[in-house]
Each structure stands twice: as structure tokens, then as C-alpha cells.
A and B are shown apart, each in its own frame.
Chain A
Amino acid sequence: MVEAAPIETRAIAAAARAGVAVPGLIFGVLAALPAAAVMAPENYLLALGTRIMTFAIAAAALDLIVGYGALVSFGHAAFIGLGAYAVGILASHGIGELLIALPIALAASVLFALATGAVSLRTRGVYFIMITLAFGQMIFFTASSLAPYGGDDGLTIASRNTLFGLPIFKDPRTLYYIVLAALAGTFFLCRSIVGSRFGRVLRGAKENATRMATLGFEIYRFQLVAYAISGALCGLAGFLLANANDFVSPAYMSWQRSGELIIMVLLGGIGTLYGPIIGAAVYLLIAEFLSQWTEYWQVIFGPFLVLVVLFGRGGLVGLFAQLTGKRHG
């Protein structure tokens, strides 16, 4: 640990430089993707890109509390599910107005986050991981038993949300750009939160909770608000996912899904906000291409994850920063 310090310092400096360049590159590529869709069938590429970006929203939101608050939530898929089910349930009652569905999706996520966060945040470390898992499982089983809304089988959404009656989610290209805008909004919101006084308290509590408490901050409140913001953004991801898939099911909030979100954050690079976007893209792209190649793709993917943990500290972003940092130093 100690002898690695100079490299780490250089890596941090490189990461700071990357903090401007990489997000610019990511959003540039994402914005240009539909135009470059000559190689693949356009709708396939757009659908894949949309899917990646919805999960990137959720992963970046998770990074806000994991990377900057050390609050490892193992139940974040629940918020995706809440956002998605808000769309599905309202649609099944014939309500397809975005201005109704989106606020309800966000409000449901915030309320669930405040209620469960109030209990979870009393615990620390491993206990926090496990209690968030428990709350995620509760929502999972609740959705599985919602017989009027499909139960285990899920719920097909007859028509996507509309804005003042305008079918804005209908065209795949428009949907793609709306999701891209949502991702950019999420990224810059989280970034400004991290840079604000609020974010500094959050990071301070991550480094040393006792010291922050001694300085007079009620860190519990800060963490609860951060948890609610993170939950709301995942609710937004769920809202978009339901509109893109025309379908919701309890599988959206299984514990495996929560685990995948954590892996996206770690794979890309924890505590960077743009790392998880890369992580979501890499995770879903590898899964997509390996599963086309062989049914047993997880036999390859599992060891890949283990190798990333063992040899790629700080995820892909950290790996990249270490390589460039070494070259410049």
C-alpha cells in the first residue's frame, strides 16, 4: 500500500485531467452514435445505446453515494423497478401523460428512499449493504405478488408516455436523444452536487464520520438526502427503461440487478461519475456480444470480472490513468 503511493498520486493527477476530457469524449461519442449507425441496423444500435444509457444513469447515481459517501447500496435496482412500475401501472389505467407519470415515478423513489434510508443509515458497513439488500428484496416480492399487474410475469405497456399528447418516446432516435439528455443532466447534477458544500460534507463523512460529527455536521441528514437523490435518479432510469422496453417485470429489481449496478460502478471506476457510464457500456456490450457468441458466455465473463478486481484497481478508468500517469511520470 505505502510504496504504491507515488503512482497513486500520479494516477489521481491523471484522473483529474481525465475528469474534463473523458466526459467530453463520452458524450461526444454518444451524440454522434446515431449518425454513425451505418455499420449496424440502425434500430438495433439505437436500442442498445438507449439501454446502455439508462443503466449508465442508474450507475452514475449509485456512484454518487457509493463513491462519495461510502454508502454501498445493494438494493438500488428497487428504485429502477419503482420508476418502471410507475409507468406500467399508470399506463394500465390509461394514464400515459409524462407530466403525471414522471413526477409519480420520482416521488415514489424519493419516498421509498427516505423511508428505507432512515432505517438503513443507522447501520454501517456490511450491515448497510445487507439491510439495503433486504429492502430491495421486499420491493421485489411485492412486485412479484401484484397479481392485477402481472405478478411474476410482468406487465406489458400498451403505449409509451406522451407529453401533452405528443408521442415523444415513439421515434427511436428521439428517445435516444432524450435518454442522452437525461444522462447528461444526471452526470452534471451529480458533479455539481459532489463539488458543492453538500458534497464536501458527504465526502468528509466518508473519510472520517466522527470528525465530521465533531465539526457539528449532522451527517445522517446529509447522507439521507444523498440517498434520496440517488434513488430518484435511479427512478428516472427506471422510468426511461419502461418506456424503451414497453415492459416491466419484477426481474428489474432482482438482487442480481443490484449487483450488476455495483459492478458497473466498479468496472468503470468508482468515485468518478463518468467511470460508471463507461462501466455500464462495457458491461452491457460484453454481455451483448459474448451472449451472441455462446450461450455459456458467463463462464468467460465471470473470470473476467475476477481478473478486473485482482489486477485493475480503480476499474477501467483507474487502469487507464495508471498507464498514462506512468508514461508521463
Chain B
Amino acid sequence: MSSLLFVQILNGLQLGVLLFLIAAGLTLVFGVMDLINLAHGVQYMLGAYLAVTFYGLTGSFLASLVLALVATLAFALALELLVFRQLYARDHLDHVMATFGIILFVDQGVKLVWGAAPLSLPVPELFSGSVTLMGGLLYPVWRLVIIGSGLAVAVGLYVLVGHTRVGMLVRAGATNAPLVSALGVNINRLFMLVFGFGAMLAGFAGVMIAPILSVEPGMGDAILILAFVVIVIGGIGSIRGAFVAALMIGLVDTLGRSFAVDVLRLFMGPSPARTVGPALASMLIYVLMAIVLTLRPAGLFPAAGR
């Protein structure tokens, strides 16, 4: 039981860092540009698809990772130029409608280009095995690599946002974008930078998860809702909040799904527990979000000045 719990905690961490990679870009775009980007999930999906294609061309995971990142960045910048730049000054409803349209377009476009059948990407050979954990349980190395790379990105972001000049501008932009612009900073270039960087992080998450998940149309939509839950719990615009909330959601969701039935059995018969358990597990994170927002209507770590 305890080693199973340990494995599930690792799985929860893995989901958590994945959510963080997606939520980090989302919360920055949200915080700095005040833009609701429902289409952020398509970057994650595109990252995965592009990695599959480039892997087919080059046969090297590293090369396909780099190429996929460059391609998602290029796609994001084109999207920013064509659509998002016109949306910053609009209200949230316009954001919802335009980005909903982009989701429809890209989800179907992916079906058109790659087909509706799920694709897969092999795990890089260097990390393909499993390690033995305590209690003799095997754990795939690749999941540990995902956790490690996610934590590395978190540290990198902490340094970048907290201790560099660009990061200072980003934080200032999240607090008061018009003022930053009035001080002579090219706010359009800052917006483009933040948008492109956030999209690239989501693309990175897509590439990293591709070896253990099936790559299919619409894969970005489900994770996007989770990422929104993360940034709302964490407090919009806060990287630190996104990190804490992502790990929280990852652990609560994974542990809830693994142990809800067992826990419920303590209170009720096995048959109702099997019915109620999965429902309760899928609801758990939304309940958590409702509780957090009831107690703290602006999230756990609200960005200053909001």
C-alpha cells in the first residue's frame, strides 16, 4: 500500500509539472495581457503532433524536440500577429469567442493533416527503461525525466521572471500594463515575447508527454480546462501560484482517482463506493477550486495591484 501510494504520488507530481508547463504560459498571458486564451491547449497538441512528424523525418528525439519547439513558436507568433494583437483591447467575451474559433480550426485542421487516428512517439532510448523503487515496484524513467525537466523549467522561470530585466518588465506588465507602456517600454514587443514564450512552454509539455500519451485531436482541450483551474486557484498572473496550484491539482486528481473507491469503502458498501468513487474523483479538483475561491476570491497568490 505504501509503495503504491509512493508511485501514485510520483504520477501526481508528473501530472502537476505538466500542468505547470501549460499553466505558466497561460497565467503570464492572462496576467500581462488580460487575455483569456482558450486556444492555449492547441499549442500543447501541436507540440506533440509536430514532434511525431519531425521524429519521423529525423529519427532523433532531441532534434524533433528542438524543431517542434521552433515550429510551435513560429505558429504562436503568426497567430499573435494575425489575431491576438487585435484582441488585447477587447473584452473577455470577445476573447472567448475568437479563441473558441481557433480551437475549432486547429482541432479539425490537425485531423485533416494527420488523420483522426491516435499517433504515438517512442520513448527516447536513453530513458526507455524502468527503475526499481522501494518495494520492488518498477517506475518508468521517462516519467522521472518529465518531472525533472518540469522542475528545471520552474527554477529557470523563477530566475527569469524574478531576477532579470525582462522578468521585471513582465511582472510590471502584470501589475499595470498601460503604465509600463507609458514609461517607454515597447509593450507590443513585450506582449509578443510573453505570448510566444508561453506557447513554446505548452509545446514543450506536448512533446514531453507524447511518448506516454496517445497523440490525438482535441488532446489539448481537456488539459486546458485543468490548466485554467490551476491558474485560477494559484491567482492569475502569479508563476509561484501556478506552480503550487499545479502540483496541488496534479496530486489531488491522481490520488483521488486512485484511492477514492478505497476511501469511500470505509463509509459505505463496496457497490455504492464503486459507483460514487469515480464521480467524486473527477469532481474533486472542481470542489477544491470552489472552496479556494470561496475563501480567497482572487486565488492563493494574487498578483500585486490586481
Contact = CB atoms under 8 A, between A and B. Distances in A.
B297 A74 contact: no
A130 B231 CA distance: 10
Contact of A298 (B107, B275, B297): B107
A305 B98 contact: yes
Interface in B92-122: 92-94, 96-98, 100-109, 111-112
A128 to B, nearest CB: 9
Interface stretch (A45-53, A119-127, A168-176): A119-127
Contacts of B283: 137-138, 141-142
A292 to B, nearest CB: 16
B112 A126 contact: no
B279 to A, nearest CB: 3
B144 to A, nearest CB: 30
Contact of B112 (A119, A296, A308): A296
Which of A133, A135, A305, A309 gathers most chain B CB within 10 Å? A309
Contacts of B279: 141-142, 144-146
Interface stretch (A93-101, A223-231, A262-270): A262-270
A155 B108 CA distance: 28
Nearest to B104: A302
B290 A131 contact: yes
Contact of B98 (A256, A299, A306): A306
Given A126-B30, A309-B98, A310-B83, A302 B90 contact: no
A308 B103 contact: no
A309 B36 contact: no
Interface residues of B, number: 46
Nearest to A310: B86
Interface in A248-289: 255-256, 259, 262-263, 266-267, 270
Interface string A134-172: 110110011011110000000000000000000000000
A28 interface: no
A224 to B, nearest CB: 15
A263 B275 CA distance: 35
Contacts of B102: 302, 306
Nearest to B229: A134
B186 interface: no
B304 interface: no
A305 B104 contact: yes
A259 B105 CA distance: 15
Interface in B234-264: 236
Nearest to A116: B290
Contact of B105 (A146, A267, A298): A298
B94 A309 contact: yes
Contacts of A138: 283, 286-287
B228 interface: yes
Nearest to B106: A302
Contacts of B298: 127
A270 B93 contact: yes
A299 B105 contact: yes
B282 A123 contact: no
Contacts of B107: 298
Nearest to A309: B98
Given A130-B228, A147-B275, A302-B104, A296 B111 contact: yes
A256 B75 CA distance: 24
Nearest to B299: A127
Which of A134, A137, A266 gathers most chain B CB within 10 Å? A134
Q: Which 9 pairs show the lowest CB-CB distances between chains A and B?
A: A302-B105, A305-B101, A145-B279, A302-B104, A141-B282, A298-B108, A298-B104, A134-B286, A309-B98
30 contacts: A72-B93, A74-B96, A122-B294, A123-B297, A124-B297, A126-B92, A127-B236, A127-B299, A130-B232, A131-B290, A137-B286, A141-B279, A144-B279, A144-B282, A145-B276, A259-B100, A262-B100, A263-B96, A266-B94, A297-B108, A298-B107, A299-B108, A299-B112, A302-B104, A302-B106, A303-B101, A303-B105, A304-B101, A305-B97, A309-B87
Interface of B: 30, 36, 38, 83, 86-87, 90, 92-94, 96-98, 100-109, 111-112, 221, 225, 228-229, 232, 236, 275-276, 278-279, 282-283, 286-287, 289-290, 293-294, 297-299
